[in-house]
Structure 1
Amino acid sequence: MDKKRNLKGDNYIVISSDEESDRSECFEEEDDAVDDEFAFVQEDNIDNTDHYEFSENTDSSPDPNQNYAILKEEEIRQLQEEDITTVSTILSIPKSAACFLLSHFNWSVGKVSEDWFADEDRVREKVGLLRNPVVSFHPTDLITCSICFDDHQYGSKDVFFAVCGHPFCRDCWTGYIKSAIDEGPACLMLRCPEPSCKAAVGPDLIEGLTTGDHERYKSFLLRSYVEGRREIKWCPAPDCKYAVKFNAGGTKSYDVSCLCLYGFCWNCSEEIHRPVNCKTVENWILKNKDDSLNAQWILGNTKPCPKCKKPIEKNQGCNHMTCLNPCRYEFCWYCLEKYTGHRCCNGYNRATGEYTGADTDKVEAGRDKKRAKRYVEKYLHYYERWANNLSSKKKAMEDLHNVQSTDIMKLAAIQCQSELQLKFIVEAWQQIIECRQVLRWTYAYGYYIPENEELKIQLFEHLQGHAEFSLERLHKCAESEMKEFLFAKGPLESFQDFRIKLVRLTKVTASYFEKLVRALENDLSELDIQGIHRS
């Protein structure tokens, strides 16, 4: 059967069932298709002279189609203050009382207004916003602090009280408030120290009696505001202080990229996991935590060189490994096969053998053992590649940082180029990082494909294999081939060829991964699976 591809028009690649018998031949044909498909990169986008044009547009304004906004602390406080002012105005109460009230209603302005106008007295009693003081004294009266039992004049600067009127000295109030703040967010519901009184202790009194602890109180107040709003979440990255305001609006994408550079899914708060859904991510993470399948222990951190058997640790992003001197054997990190002529090993080998003797007990025991072994082997196959792509992504992020901080400036000086002209290198590394993340989660997708859906498995591995092969070429080019120019003593004519190759591979890889993502997000449902049998 003649194999035909239309990378521009089709979302999926339809293949015959016998094509997988020779993956090397398939990938060789893919190289030719790629060269034809993206020849325009050299002709239209890259001038063969030393002059290389890039857009001068450095506008960093948000994408108008973006369905979320990143909020800094001051922006969150502004939103919080607007809600407090709104409630204060509508209910005709002080801002301090409005703040205390909102914290009880999870910062829902609508819920506060609804309940307040339905039964104001009930809300006041529940929250502790008393209309009038419970006790009252003349400013010249001598009162005894119920905590330290010291006597003070009621109207002096050393005596404070909440709306209830119960007086306590400054030191006792300060200690009481500090103790409450030390206990955590419960301080937002603080009540009068008098055991029988439920009067609210508002932010105004706390601010007047504390200094350093008041900042912690404000922090708790801010966090409660974010956690009480459905449309706002804190970025889950460690030590990140940004929040995200999300507007679903019927969108299918829940991917969020914070200013701290961490990407996560708004729906489940896990890392960005296109093209798999949140349920698959949940199941996969739970499986990885299972002690009976402790893949970290099973896999370890090294693999033996297939030739000299010395342990090899992977310390770079691509999977082309070279053993140290004097061995120098080159092999694939995944399958340990010789790298010369190697193409791709993303497919999972489901072939198995079973005991076929007459002893039924042995037959059943053998089958159970085989099933258990296949279960572990299948899991390790997908887990290793899932985990390895995370390691490769982290290494690529380190490499991108080095490129942006030092390599670009060095290359610009050596190759007599402006930093803007070298933008294509940064874009290549950004594409590598994005594709590593996508490829990582395609292995979780592959693990959960039912084994009886052989045609679906075949197509999945075919699409994934082409995308992974393209990514490996891009990663190797960016990681290894750039070094020649980074350590050159002067400008090299071959730098233009490197530029053309890297730009072409970046575009090719982006195209393959976009097709792969679309296919898997649709669960391959738009494909006529039966077409695999037709030639």
Structure 2
Amino acid sequence: MDDDYYLSCEEDEEEEEDDYDKVDYDQYEQAQREETTKSTSRIMTNESLVAAQKEVLARVMELLTLKKSQARTLLIHYQWNVDKLLDVYSERGKDSLFKTAGLTVFSHTSLSESRYSLRKKMTCEICMDDDLQSYTMTRMDCGHCFCNNCWKEHFTVKINEGMSKRITCMAHKCNAICDEDVVKKLVYPELAEKFDRFLVESYVDDNKRVKWCPSTPHCGNAIRREDDGGEVECSCGHQFCFSCLSESHSPCSCLMWKLWKKKCEDESETLNWITVHTRMCPKCSKSVQRSDGCNLMTCICGQHFCWLCGGATGLSHTGTTIDGHSCGKFKEEKVKQIEIAKRDLKRYTHYYHQYRSHTDSSKQEFKLRESVREKVASLSEKTLKSEQKWASNGADLLFRSRKVLSYTYVFAFYMFGEELFKDEMSDEEREMKKILFENLQQQLIGYIESLSKTLNQPFDDYSSDELEKMSDETMRFGIVVDNLCKEMYECIENELLGPTVAGHNHSIAPYRSEGIEKAIEFWC
């Protein structure tokens, strides 16, 4: 960024000095407290997962008069959405509800209750053993009956393969779900425990409202949210997007962030560079880079070719001609391809460098937060504890806003490029929106830098008057940064994404002045 911009920022600050003096900081903090919404995210440990699952199971068992295993099978099928399950029950009835989930409405008579079966030898149609007593056989609710050894082997394989949440009957084309109590009865105790664990984890794996914290190494917690999407912080400190489980990335949409990560990781831009700066040898197909201004190239395989068109040539050449070659024909498509690659490479490089620069700054400002806290601790004898929060609050805001700023470059790369929204806007409309966005972005940069400069002062050695002046500056810059972040999000949601991408999934997590929502402990 040029010096003129920073000079203009400083001039603006001087012009607005009187306005800053009029800011009622108590009123601003009160507005922030009122804006802070009650957390809709809950941390779920293994114990709370079991408790929550039991509560839902008990509700469905009572409402529909079902066994526990039947209730669980229904809930897994309907992704633990009780309201959806009950709607299907009300609209289609019990038969349809059960059939869709792989359950049978009725239960067959137990083999042990049949006098005839006690006298008759039975045959297992899996292993074809035809000399079996009834007590060695098990019939599922679907009516299919096989020997216990075959069932045991079937269950063991499914559990070890991690498919134990919905183990289906062994019979050909039978999709009925096996009773979990029967499964646990027939397998070894250690497998029964593993099976139970899978059933508990199904409350997370098959429930769109609950997801595992993606921290590495895994902290063991799950997070439950009542709202769709958004960003959340686990008790382990890991912040992530609840929709895609990537790191928190607003104001980028999940699709933008997914594409950006892939673009940064794969070789798409390397290929662009190769297209712009190298030519392929017409003999061995290796890429050759030109080191000087001569258009006669020589590959390591010995082949000579023309840099301009890539055609094979002789060795001798003058300042204007090359032996055995003339590239007087203009290859328009080749030129277009190179020009497009140059443009795309230049554009990507610009946005990547800006993104990386602010990402690196956010890492430094993470360290600054710790430094500020240490300085605040050293001020405890000079000021009251309640008067010290301006510094730590300012450092927290600086770190959050810098991360937001870094992701705005990813957003801009896709919003104003052709990969996602080529047909959504005219060139004139795209340019107008780009100017609007970049003006906000530049203002945010200026005030973030001012806030950073202020907080990097050695204020632990300041006098009371100097501390008061610095706290005033920090709060003033902080208020402006916070308001600009809000304006940026409103601009993206209302002016850019809103009317442009109707029908597309480009929602973003809302901006929160107090930072990403912290999940709280779950209570049944």
Q: TM-score higher than 0.5 here?
A: yes
C-alpha separation in 2, matches of 1:229 and 1:125 = 16
Letter in 1 for 2:378: L
1:471 shift after superposition: 0.7
Q: Among 63, 67, 73, which residue is 2:37 paired with?
A: 63
Cα deviation code 1:142-190 (max 9, x no counterpart):
999989x9x99998xxx89675786648xx9887655432211x11223
TM-score scaled by length of structure 1: 0.61
C-alpha separation in 1, matches of 2:410 and 2:101 = 53
Q: Secondary structure at the match of 2:111?
A: coil
C-alpha separation in 2, matches of 1:449 and 1:196 = 52
Q: Among 441, 444, 458, which residue is 1:464 paired with?
A: 441
Q: Among 396, 401, 419, which residue is 2:365 paired with?
A: 396
- Residue 411 (structure 1) aligns with: 378
- Residue 32 (structure 1) aligns with: 14
- Residue 279 (structure 2) aligns with: none
C-alpha separation in 2, matches of 1:21 and 1:386 = 20
Q: Secondary structure at the match of 2:112?
A: coil
- Residue 476 (structure 2) aligns with: 504
- Give the conservation status (yes or no) of the 8 Å contact 2:355–2:407: yes
- Residue 96 (structure 1) aligns with: 69
Identity score, percent: 21
- Quick check: 1:373 aligned with 2:342? yes
Cα deviation code 1:312-368 (max 9, x no counterpart):
xxxxxxxxxxxxxxxxxxxxxxxxxxxxxxxxxxxxxxxxxxxxxxx8839986665
1:509 shift after superposition: 1.6
- Quick check: 1:293 aligned with 2:296? no
C-alpha separation in 2, matches of 1:391 and 1:160 = 66
Letter in 2 for 1:90: L
Cα deviation code 1:363-415 (max 9, x no counterpart):
986665444323211111101212333333344345435655xx1674245x5
Change (3 A) 1:492 1:142: farther
1:524 shift after superposition: 6.0
Cα deviation code 1:455-499 (max 9, x no counterpart):
543443332111111112222333x314x52xx5x9775333332
- CA RMSD after TM alignment: 4.9
1:441 shift after superposition: 2.2
- Give the conservation status (yes or no) of the 8 Å contact 1:275–1:521: no
Runs of 5+ unmatched residues, structure 1? 1-19, 47-53, 249-253, 299-358, 527-535
Q: In the TM superposition, what are the counterparts of 1:181-220 in structure 2 within 5 Å?
A: 181-184=159-162, 186-190=163-167, 201-205=178-182, 213-220=191-198
- Residue 430 (structure 1) aligns with: 396
1:121 shift after superposition: 11
Q: How many residues align?
A: 412
Q: Among 247, 252, 255, which residue is 2:227 paired with?
A: 247
Letter in 2 for 1:103: I
Q: In the TM superposition, what are the counterparts of 1:19-418 in structure 2 within 5 Å?
A: 23-40=5-22, 63-64=37-38, 68-73=40-45, 74-108=47-81, 109-110=85-86, 113=89, 117-119=93-95, 123=99, 126-127=102-103, 131-133=107-109, 135-136=111-112, 168=148, 177=155, 179-184=157-162, 186-190=163-167, 201-205=178-182, 213-238=191-216, 239=218, 241-247=221-227, 254-260=229-235, 261-294=237-270, 361=330, 369-400=338-369, 407=374, 410-413=377-380, 415-418=381-384
C-alpha separation in 1, matches of 2:408 and 2:390 = 27
1:449 shift after superposition: 2.0
Q: Among 458, 466, 483, which residue is 1:494 paired with?
A: 466
Q: Secondary structure at the match of 1:257?
A: strand
Change (3 A) 1:265 1:121: closer
C-alpha separation in 2, matches of 1:115 and 1:44 = 56
Change (3 A) 1:94 1:382: same
Cα deviation code 1:35-58 (max 9, x no counterpart):
3332245x8669xxxxxxx99xxx
C-alpha separation in 1, matches of 2:93 and 2:497 = 52
Letter in 1 for 2:408: T
- Give the conservation status (yes or no) of the 8 Å contact 1:428–1:503: yes
- Give the conservation status (yes or no) of the 8 Å contact 2:77–2:101: no
- Quick check: 1:473 aligned with 2:455? no
1:89 shift after superposition: 2.3
C-alpha separation in 2, matches of 1:283 and 1:499 = 41
Q: Secondary structure at the match of 1:522?
A: helix
C-alpha separation in 2, matches of 1:34 and 1:423 = 25
- Give the conservation status (yes or no) of the 8 Å contact 1:390–1:440: yes
C-alpha separation in 1, matches of 2:101 and 2:486 = 58
More helix by share: 2
Cα deviation code 1:189-216 (max 9, x no counterpart):
2357899998754344555666555554
TM-score scaled by length of structure 2: 0.62
Runs of 5+ unmatched residues, structure 2? 275-327, 418-426, 499-524
Change (3 A) 1:119 1:96: closer
Letter in 1 for 2:226: F
Change (3 A) 1:116 1:283: same
C-alpha separation in 1, matches of 2:152 and 2:183 = 8
C-alpha separation in 2, matches of 1:277 and 1:206 = 43
Q: Secondary structure at the match of 2:388?
A: helix
- Residue 423 (structure 2) aligns with: none
Letter in 2 for 1:411: S
C-alpha separation in 1, matches of 2:52 and 2:25 = 48
